[in-house]
Amino acid sequence: MSEAMTQNPERIQTYLKVTEKFPFCKGCGHHHVTGAINSALVKLGLEPEHVNITSDIGCVGLIDALFEGVHSFHTTHGRSTAFATGVEIADSVLADSKLKNIVVIGDGGATIGLLHLVNAAQMNVDVTVILYNNFLFGMTGGQNSGFSPVGFVTATTPNGNIIPPVDMISVLRGANASFLARKTATDADLPETIAQAISHPGFALVEVLELCPEYALRGNAIRGNKLAETASAQELGVVVSRRERMEFGEAYRSKFPRVEQEIGAREIEPRYENSLEKRFGIVVAGTAGERVQFSSHLLVEAAVLSGANATQKNDNPVTQGTGFSLSEVVLSGKPIYYTGIDVPDIVVAVSEDGVRELASKGIFERTGSDTLIVTDESLEIPKCEGRIVKQPFRRKYMPGGAAFAGILTAVSMTGIIPMLAFQDIAASQKKSEELLSIIEHVLGGI
């Protein structure tokens, strides 16, 4: 979305960590294409925090880590476009839609995950795919891919490939892609084309033809200036560029403007103040069906009501109603870009299932001397650092109230959020009486 692309007032000179030493072999086209992505970003002057680079598997999978300050993901083979599509939808439908998602994928990955590219093009989601097409699977020893030209000699086609390659431009044109380009790695205007693709509002793909010096040059009498001929590429340059279709996020919002209500989210105006001096990571674990995730959500709402930023990630077995239930909550006075918890500040464990899951996730090995571990009196906690507080949560508040009581106990001991915020949030719930009575009892007991 072009209006969402913020110009950086102090233009960034490079988005790369290393400008000279890339990890690729001498003569590999990946050098040029990666440099061109960087030049395109410099040209566009995007804020690094508004850029997300998702890499696929292969030599191309080394690329995201070469960039500095941007968000990045390294994903499974062929699935990078699907990951980026998910990130883009979350950003455009649920957040401020400022993120520019760029996928770097090889022809091997594009062969494996072809349908993800088709799907992204069909949706016209605002993802830019840079397809590094060196006509073979580079990292694993030069096997032929769905993009190997006829006659191409590879490790698995020693007498020349006999299957005609996929024409990506034609496939994605058939899927209604709104921006498609095919270039060669050494084209002087490659950065310009990539910049055009990134600023295009909707799906864009730039297929870049290049050579793998390690495997393509053996047995194939081809050189850089014959790339297009080798690939039998019919169309070069920007082949499709159309804007009639709305970009997916925009289309979704215009059709379903009340998305927050549909997903059950609500606006909370801060009314209290928090005392968060640093980012706080809280892990809550118990048994499925015992309101672990719901109670953690009340914590998130109370934190937001106290002016904090908060994220919540839930986990439970696929069976949903049995086994453990776990929530990871991060609270911070600053925006939260990383939702992981390396060293937890608080661990709340209210059932055996919960303790088992925390142990299998290695949480007890990652506690620090400042970690507060609040747990039910009945539970054995594995050896760990930190302060352990045991209380009869299950007995006193029934299994369904134990997680909430544990959270309240931990939060009131650290004082990061005022209890008044919990009272307000509890009062707005269906089971407000029960929740308010837990708050009252916990506060009375401390």
Q: Which residues bind ligand TPP (CB under 6 A)?
A: 56-60, 77, 106-109, 132, 134, 137-140, 145
Q: Which is nearer to ligand TPP, 147 or 248 (CB)?
A: 147
Give strand ranges (E) for 268-376.
280-287, 309-315, 324-332, 346-349, 372-376
Q: What is the nearest approach in angstroms of ligand TPP to the Cβ of residue 58?
A: 2
| 299 backbone dihedrals φ, ψ, rounded to 5° | -60, -45
Tell me how far the alpha carbon of residue 83 is from its chain's centroid. Answer: 7
If the CB atoms of residues 59 and 194 are measured against ligand TPP, the closer one turns out to be: 59
Q: Which residue in this structure is represented by tokens 């002016």?
A: 307
Between 44 and 212, CB nearer to ligand TPP = 212
* Nearest approach, Cβ of residue 147 and ligand TPP (Å): 8
Find tokens 């776990």 and name the residue. 326
SS3 289: coil
Among residues 139 and 343, whose Cβ is nearest to ligand TPP?
Answer: 139
Residue closer to ligand TPP by CB (options 220, 325) is: 220
Least Cβ distance, residue 77 to ligand TPP (angstroms): 3
Judged by DSSP in three states, 327 sits in: strand
Shortest CB 36 distance to ligand TPP, Å: 15
Q: Which is nearer to ligand TPP, 128 or 412 (CB)?
A: 128
What is the smallest separation between the CB atom of 422 and ligand TPP, expressed in angstroms?
46
Region for 404 from its dihedrals, namely left if φ exceeds 0, alpha if ψ lies in -120 to 50, beta otherwise: alpha
Count other Cβ atoms within 10 Å, centred on residue 403. Answer: 33
Q: Strand, helix or coil at 300? A: helix
The CA distance from 329 to 281, in Å, is: 6
Q: Write down the least CB distance from residue 98 to ligand TPP, Å.
A: 29
* Least CB distance to ligand TPP at residue 78 (A): 7
Between 75 and 97, name the residue whose CB sits nearer to ligand TPP. 75
Q: In what order do the strands lie in the sheet with 280-287?
A: 309-315, 324-332, 280-287, 346-349, 372-376, 387-391
- Give the single-character DSSP code of 246: P
